Chain A
Amino acid sequence: MLLALPTLVLLAGLLAYPLGRMLVLSFQDMELRHLFSGSTPPWAGLDNYTEILTDGEFWAVVRRTTIFTVVSVAVSVVLGLAVALLMLRVNRPVRLAMVISMLFVWAIPQLVSAQIFKWMVDADFGVVNHVIDQIPGVDFANHSWFADPTQGWIVITTLVVWAGVPFLAITLHAGLTQVPRDLLEAATVDGASGWQALRSITLPILKPLVVIVTTLSVIWNFGLFTQVWVVRDSKPEQDYQTLATYAFTQAFGRNNYSLGAAISVITVLLMLGVMAFYIRQMFRIGDVD
């Protein structure tokens, strides 16, 4: 216990204190003048929570964020697994090239890649429209990718998946190398197809890892902020608000700091379910060891 004390103090300082402040803030009514003067905002009780929970706009944002998370995580994990399986099949130099290029993708800061995507799909100056426009009979000059939210979200999801696949592929590839060769060979001898071997041998062995990377992806993608923010020019429209941008817009755009804090608290509560799943899985793996 004594040995763990420094860690606990550090965790309390870095996590518990700001979380506690946010909780208190969500029950107050803090405005710009309190921020500038440093004075204590008045107590508001549950007002912020009632306002949010009875607001249809908030529930639309929750729904949108959830759909985005489910779709983007599913696509990322399937693609990541596919790339990982491909890495097993190719020869060494190709595998090395794949790892290096994926590390580059991973190394690019989100802000930078989002900005580049924004330029690429720009209606007036973007390269994507220019290239599509070259196809005979297709008029894509000045096509707006964000007028229709479905198209806009496809662009944003592509960006998130593109940035997310490297981590998944490299992690899952590491897991795949741990699948015993002789098991797969035995299955082949017994006449199992590649698909059967994948479903009955590889995936069950890989499952704990898949669960962990999926949970992590859910946690990350649920908090989507940077990509939407940059791509929508730091003022996302209603159709592009996620929980994170919505809380930010309320708190820092409109200076309803307490409302923003309350939205964040609700987000944390929504995430707790997923977190519990993740932590349980972590302990399970610990038990096996």
Chain B
Amino acid sequence: MTHQTLKEEPVKRRIAVAAGLAAALLGTAACGGSDSGDDSSAALDGKGKTLKVWLMVDAQSSWKEIVDDANARFTAATGASVSVEYQQWANHLTKLDATLAGNDVPDVIELGNTEMPKYVFSGAFGELDKATFDNSANWLKGLSGPCELDGKTYCVPYYAGARVLIYRTDLFDASGVKPPTSYSELTAAADTLKAKNGSNNKFAAFYMPGAYWYAAMSWVYAEGGQIAKKDGDKWVGTLAEPTAQAGLTKWADVVKKYSSGDITKDENDQAAIFAQGQAAMFYGNGWEAGAAQEQRKDPNDPNSELVATKVKGKVASAPLPGIPSFLGSSNLGVASKSKNQALAAEWIKTFTDTKAQEALLGKGVLPNATNLLDKAATVKGNEATALAAKSSWFVPMAEKWADVEKAGVLQQMLRDIVTGKRSVADATMWADTEIAKILNG
């Protein structure tokens, strides 16, 4: 469908363009950032006020110091203090709905870009003045698209993520395997690793949980398939088409042949499972390479020290050859019921300014603007993510797409396939019906 290519194409093109522009753009952007920050903060007095911010757990596990730094700068500029509450992906929307129905709401809310349209449409977010944010002229379209409605802006892109192959360098060396550059090399590498470590029944040459739909759909898009398309004014599920089925079959082979562990799980645990040292590869967000190597000593205390896991120093990442990545991102909005609209916008300004974005580049994530992208590719540990983003896909741009995720249609289909409850053909037929029912409902 046209929307989809519109969202995706500029990203690819802009990475190329950005690569040519280099430092000049970055310089001006950085200047612009500090100017706008000084102007507005002078007018804001937040003394005695506390701003409530809901961020997702990734910020807590992988770049908490960037949050702390932004908070410190914000407090110094406005006098308001900040209370950050970290949310879990599993239940954050339910919690958000209940909270937004009341009056004591968080001022700043982070949502995934696939979740955003429904909330913007339902009036959950207040309007923002786009021009006041750093690099807003260069925001990645795939990220800022869901923020816009009727020419107004309701949220700010925060970061993007592309998924990469994360692997154990020591196991690769021991088996004489090199990072694969094609899909056939990937399966050959997995075969070699599996043969070499066959005595360990917990070993996974390629850890792939069975309900990991971002991964499975990447295989679908690799074969030229897609999830759904718009036919006239109706949505039609397209997973039962031969290309999509071929992709799913190929993906299910990875689960059955190379993975171990609970095939009904989704990807939430994968970095922790990889950290146990029983897997040679997994497919994760760039920053999960870091999360697999260091974990909080006390998982319930975000301030506890980071301790090295068994795989520390033995992990590297590379683009997964032949498989396009889902371009996921997170956006930040100000709740329309917030009593601190100006302060909340100011906090977002601080947290998404060029300084914070550049700090994020070191964490294996992609920045929110095209002019920062070429820099991302030069940061050590981030090359793979920036490369992976060049070939990407995105979910159908339908207002009700978030409900498909909520209903767990794709996860159910995948579990049915990997557990053998339904054949690929039957499972995809079922999923197509459900997806069409929800998107057209």
Contacts and interface: CB of A to CB of B under 8 A. Distances in A.
Interface residues of A, number: 26
B201 A141 contact: yes
B403 A32 contact: no
Nearest to B121: A33
B386 to A, nearest CB: 31
Nearest to B105: A36
Contact of B122 (A32, A147, A148, A238): A32
A146 interface: yes
Interface stretch (B50-58, B186-194, B259-267): B259-267
Given A33-B122, A139-B201, A237-B415, A144 B263 contact: yes
A222 to B, nearest CB: 23
**Chain B interface extent, by class:** 35 or more
Nearest to A35: B101
Contacts of A32: 97, 118-119, 122, 124
A197 to B, nearest CB: 48
B411 interface: yes
A254 B407 contact: yes
A272 B90 CA distance: 34
- Residue of A37, A124, A146 ringed by the most chain B CB atoms within 10 A: A124
B199 interface: no
A183 B337 CA distance: 71
Nearest to B406: A253
B94 A147 contact: no
Contact of A141 (B121, B202, B408): B202
B348 to A, nearest CB: 20
Contacts of B268: 233
Interface string B246-287: 000000000000001111111011000100100000000000
B201 A253 contact: no
A139 B336 CA distance: 55
Interface in A30-85: 31-33, 35-37
B202 A147 contact: no
B436 to A, nearest CB: 15
A234 B121 CA distance: 26
B123 interface: yes
Contacts of A33: 121-123
B67 interface: no
A238 B269 contact: no
A142 B262 contact: yes
Interface string A229-240: 000011101100
Interface of B: 90-91, 93-94, 97-98, 100-101, 118-119, 121-124, 201-202, 260-266, 268-269, 273, 276, 336-337, 403, 406-408, 411-412, 415, 419, 438
Given A235-B411, A254-B406, 15 more contacts: A33-B123, A36-B101, A36-B337, A123-B262, A124-B265, A124-B276, A142-B261, A144-B261, A147-B264, A147-B419, A252-B94, A252-B98, A253-B93, A254-B403, A255-B97
